[in-house]
Structure 1
Amino acid sequence: MARKPAIFPAPGHDHGRCTSDAIAHAEALCEARHERLTPIRRSVLEALLASHQPLGAYDLIDRLADDGGRPAPITVYRALDFLREQGFVHRIESRNAFIACVHNHASGDPVVFLICEKCGAVGEAAAAAVAETIRSASRAAGFTPKTPVIEISGICAHCKAA
């Protein structure tokens, strides 16, 4: 059984394991869903997993650039669309950026992002009570939420302690 990731991993956490667990999870789900984690999709996911910071599409393009050139923006956006559809990546609307999901929840589950104003880290908080409230309010209104996301800005515990 995979361990549950911390909302804000400690600065010295084993990031390699964090990344390898997320890639293994993505590979397993793609195989089960008969989807392909193509090389570009994998590269985009790996770039997002390289830190717990949200990245814009052009930041990703810069990180993916190599001696052979830079990937076309449409290629990166298509990879991001696929990764979002599969639930491997979330969009942080307030930052116009993307972050890898390492919490392995259902893709339609409401997500609460805690965004540190100091270091820029984004934590993904479990929010079962919030999720149920959103589901109940939506049902009562005859509304079907597409991507229920809540973003909260503040200061993370690591920055507060520093």
Structure 2
Amino acid sequence: MEDMEALPVRFPSRQHNHSSCVNKLLGDAEEECRRQKLRFTEHRRKVLEIIASSHKPLGAYDILEQMNFSGRRQAPVVAYRALDFLINLGLVHRLNSLNAFVACMAVGEDHTAQFLICRQCKNVGELNSNRVSERIEKDAVEAGFQVDQQLVEIIGICYECAESG
């Protein structure tokens, strides 16, 4: 059996205090926007803050419900534009199977993530295995397929749900 690669799993505990992660992610976003000379608007900041504050993936309409500015509900296009911007910057990932979004737990790292999605609590862990990514790439090339993007979503039970029975 070949040696196993150490796989850093970023799977937040439900008791985890998210405020330091949120602040770090907002700081990373500001820095990246400054570096690329992009505007980190109030809407973009709010969308990122909402996503980063959640332990669970959020759909666009879940985000919209939390985006009340001055008591007004925002148009869906506001959230979708902000989400597209944040995805392109590598700050947010879209989970296709859930039609939802999660904050990137490895901002600034060159990676293709695999996502561990708990079917009970809906918490999401981000696994960054180069070996998995390289194997997918290799097999795709051998099949004559050119990979543009990898998105692997793995559904199962997280350790906290497994322990609680």
Counterpart of 1:102 (choices 96, 105, 111) is 105
* Residue identity in the other structure for 1:65: N
Counterpart of 2:131 (choices 120, 126, 129) is 129
Q: Could you tell me how far apart the structure 2 residues matched to 1:36 and 1:139 are?
A: 38
Deviation at 1:145? 2.5
- Provide Cα deviations, 1:44-95, integer angstroms capped at 9, x if missing partner: 0000011121111111100112443111101110110111111111111011
Q: How does 1:116-155 map to 2 (within 5 A)?
A: 116-141=118-143, 143-155=145-157
State the 4+ residue runs in structure 1 displaced beyond 6 angstroms.
Answer: none
TM-score by length of 2: 0.86
> How many residues are paired up?
156
Query: CA 1:28–1:139 in 2, change beyond 3 Å: closer, same or farther?
Result: farther
TM-score by length of 1: 0.88
Counterpart of 2:10? Answer: 7
Identity of aligned residues (%): 42
Deviation at 1:35? 1.4
Tell me, what secondary structure is at the counterpart of 1:87?
coil
Q: Could you tell me how far apart the structure 2 residues matched to 1:10 and 1:73 are?
A: 31
Q: Could you tell me how far apart the structure 2 residues matched to 1:81 and 1:100 are?
A: 13
* Residue identity in the other structure for 1:52: H
Structure 2 unaligned regions, length at least 5:
1-7
Tell me, what secondary structure is at the counterpart of 1:148?
coil
Query: CA 1:144–1:26 in 2, change beyond 3 Å: closer, same or farther?
Result: farther
Counterpart of 2:160? Answer: 158
Q: Could you tell me how far apart the structure 1 residues matched to 2:9 and 2:22 are?
A: 13
Counterpart of 1:19? Answer: 22
Q: Could you tell me how far apart the structure 1 residues matched to 2:53 and 2:77 are?
A: 22
Structure possessing the higher radius of gyration over alpha carbons: 2
